[in-house]
Amino acid sequence: MGKVIVGYDDVIEQVLTALVVGGNVLVEGVPGLGKTMMLLALARACELGFRRVQFTPDLMPADITGTNMINQSGGRRTMVFVPGPVFTNLLLADEINRATPRTQSALLEAMEEHSVSAGGETMRLEEPFFVMATQNPIEQEGTYPLPEAALDKFLFKLVVNMPGAAELQEILERTTAESAPEAKPVASRTDILKMREIAYQVPVASHVEDYALALVRATRTGHRYVRSGASPRALKALLLGARVRALLRERYNVSTDDIRELALPALRHRITLSFEAESENVTTDDVVEEIVSSLKLNVES
């Protein structure tokens, strides 16, 4: 993937982490930063199916999940289910906040259950099933922001910032060359599922679990900038992500550093700010970083 995507090593690692543990990610960034290319490169590197859906206000739930259609053959009419783009391994939900809540909920149900219900039947989605939803942080006119309960279904929320000068120069050289680099297959669907099995086996010491629990609880214990804190899903995201991070660093044990490094992607979308925070231009990232710093000082002391 690094041959195709310039920079964003942390984002790529966290996308891979979510794929391995069976989670989904919400990516926030302005258009043109390579979010589509990132997922397409992942699909090619792992030989997985890839579909992209551009979310718009007129998009219907059936446009995502599929629909029943009448098939007439041999003088008989039968109902045939035509699968939608959700029947894939990697699904890019581009600008998810432009679709209506009804359409958003259809995708979120598939993300949560890894299945689709239609015509009284429930059809399982092939594993691994991974959704990367994107939203533009600038254009908010004509959008339907995801409610807190929907945001909580994403394992991580990742923020893609503008590349620096050196990265822009590298992008220019790669994209204007005679032949652009392509991702080559290095893994398979079976490999990803095996990685998932191994990741779930990584032990977590009790003091690391206690640290992750304290981090989540700190978002709910009367912080002056927080109106509502993180849910138990945040604890799951921290521990699952930390297992993969430990393996990527050739360790078979999870450390508190792994938890700290994943605090922002796991918590930033699970915190609702108070009016005081908004009036003082305090962001959820500011709150998470403050909590992490205070807990680190307590641990060290």
Average pLDDT score over residue span 60-83: 83
Q: What count of Cα atoms within 13 Å lies in the side-chain half-sphere of residue 48?
A: 31
Residue-range domains of the chain with CATH: 9-57+86-175 (3.40.50.300), 202-300 (1.10.8.80)
Residue 191: CB atoms within 10 Å: 13
pTM for the whole thing?
0.90
Q: Give how far Cα 19 sits from Cα of 51, 222, 270, 274, Å.
A: 15, 34, 20, 32
pLDDT of 121 reads: 80
Task: Give the model confidence (pLDDT) of 90-108 as tens digits.
Answer: 999 999 988 888 899 889 8
Instruction: Measure the CA angle with vertex 286, ends 276 and 266; round to 5°.
Output: 115
Taking 90 as the threshold, does the pLDDT of residue 119 lie above it?
no
Taking 70 as the threshold, does the pLDDT of residue 139 lie above it?
no
Task: Give the model confidence (pLDDT) of 149-196 as tens digits.
Answer: 889 999 999 998 887 888 788 877 777 777 777 889 999 999 999 999
Residue 218: CB atoms within 10 Å: 21
Distance from CA of residue 153 to its chain's centroid? 9
Question: In whole angstroms, what is the distance from residue 134 CA to residue 154 CA?
Answer: 12
Residue type, 230: A
